[in-house]
Structure 1
Amino acid sequence: MTPPPSPLTGQGSCTLVGAGPGDPELLTIKAVKAIQVATVLLVDDLVSEAIVALASPTARIIHVGKRGGCKSTPQAFIEKLILMAVREGETVVRLKGGDPFVFGRGGEEVEHLQAAGVRVTVINGITAGLAAVTSLGVPLTHREHAHGVVFITGHAKPGSTGTDWKALAATAHSARLTLVIYMGVSGAHSIQDQLLTGLPASTPVAVIQNASLTSQRHAVCTLAELQRTITREKLMSPSVIVVGDVLQGTLALQQALPEARTARA
């Protein structure tokens, strides 16, 4: 096995910081400290301005947009910017929405930087899937309703076959799992059709847009009504789709109070 290259002498540092779902009060203390001492911050598109405002007034802020369905900064260019800043002796924070290691491509950035001899620190953040269900007062697991949870992307890498939703549906039904689907709004129709091959049409579903922010909106429905609900309520990215029986109580309440079909946090 080839040993990793030695760290560059005189270099700065790099920390991948999870900014959480958007509410600055959900940041960890460790994340706030890292943001405050950074001299350069490379900021994802979904990181709220309130969090960016925690940086030092003298820090250089570089926005490197990453949002599904929109024009994005190439990943290779982001990694090049980080490496250049570290080599210039900067204290670099790569500020990423949610958690760096949950669909944040943090693993790719760590691998690239370590291969170049840069030591990387990672500070976790609350992932949007957890914040989304918590905002509804719903757990991800429950002894009576869900014995586990699957975090999964609804947006496959170009050129890949993507998720086998039919197999996942069968597993979720037999193992009693909650499904938390990121980046699934644009493909919701196909996801719904395939999940219905293994899950009952009456399975509760929630779609939560802008989890934790004052602009949060959500809708609760059955799996059979997923795409129709997204279209009717004009729910858009960034949204999380949660599928599972942990939502039974929330769905029952909504059915009893139909005027509360769509709510704000």
Structure 2
Amino acid sequence: MASELRPISDRLRRKKTYRRVLGGIFYGLFLASVCVGIIGLVVLLYEVLSNGLPWMNWQFITDYPSRHPEEAGLFSALMGTVWLMGMTALFTVPVGVGAAIYLEEYAPRNILTRVIEINVANLAGVPSIVYGLLGLALFVTWFQLGRSILAGSMTLSLLVLPIVILSSREAIRAVPDSYRQAAYAMGADQWQVIKQVILPSAAPGILTGIILAMSRAIGEAAPVIAISALVYITFVPAHPMDRFT
């Protein structure tokens, strides 16, 4: 009996050793990959900070762009970004959160609602340059808004609106149904349940989605370049119909 069990124990021992060696190899490979990424990031940050910090002063922040590097600043770019992001949020947040509330709380579960949900999910993955061309044709040309902050903010609103809708829907869907039932049992109507129960509970998730959407909007250059935003501007926009950079 012992002689019959010995080959099995030897086989199990070899398999255990093989798994240990294979696990060590993969662990070393993954550790090396992580170290390479961290080292590359540290080197990149060091290069950026060592070369950029000497130029980061109040003059650089408050001056306008210039053909002379020692006199150049980014004040107009900062103000243009503030204008653009403020108006983008103004258009996106009410529409996106409102659409999410409608789709989750009011819309009937039929084919039309399903088609809308699929289209919203697909629009979140459309390349940004497509939205830029759409904004150029729709807002700049057809609505005759010109190459203005208003046209740029509406274009970026189209870009990030699906993100706000999807994230807000997920946050609303995550609210336990028992909260709704308890509010209805206390005599609240549907709007009171949404305003006083669902939205406060879903607010962290909704705000996270809004922040992610605005982060994407502030980093997208293709749509605003497509509507011919200026890349060299020496004035601060004063109203929504001004040009911007």
In the superposition, the TM-score normalised over structure 1's length comes to 0.21
Select the structure of larger CA radius of gyration.
Answer: 2
Which of the two has greater helix per residue?
Answer: 2
Which of the two has greater strand per residue?
Answer: 1
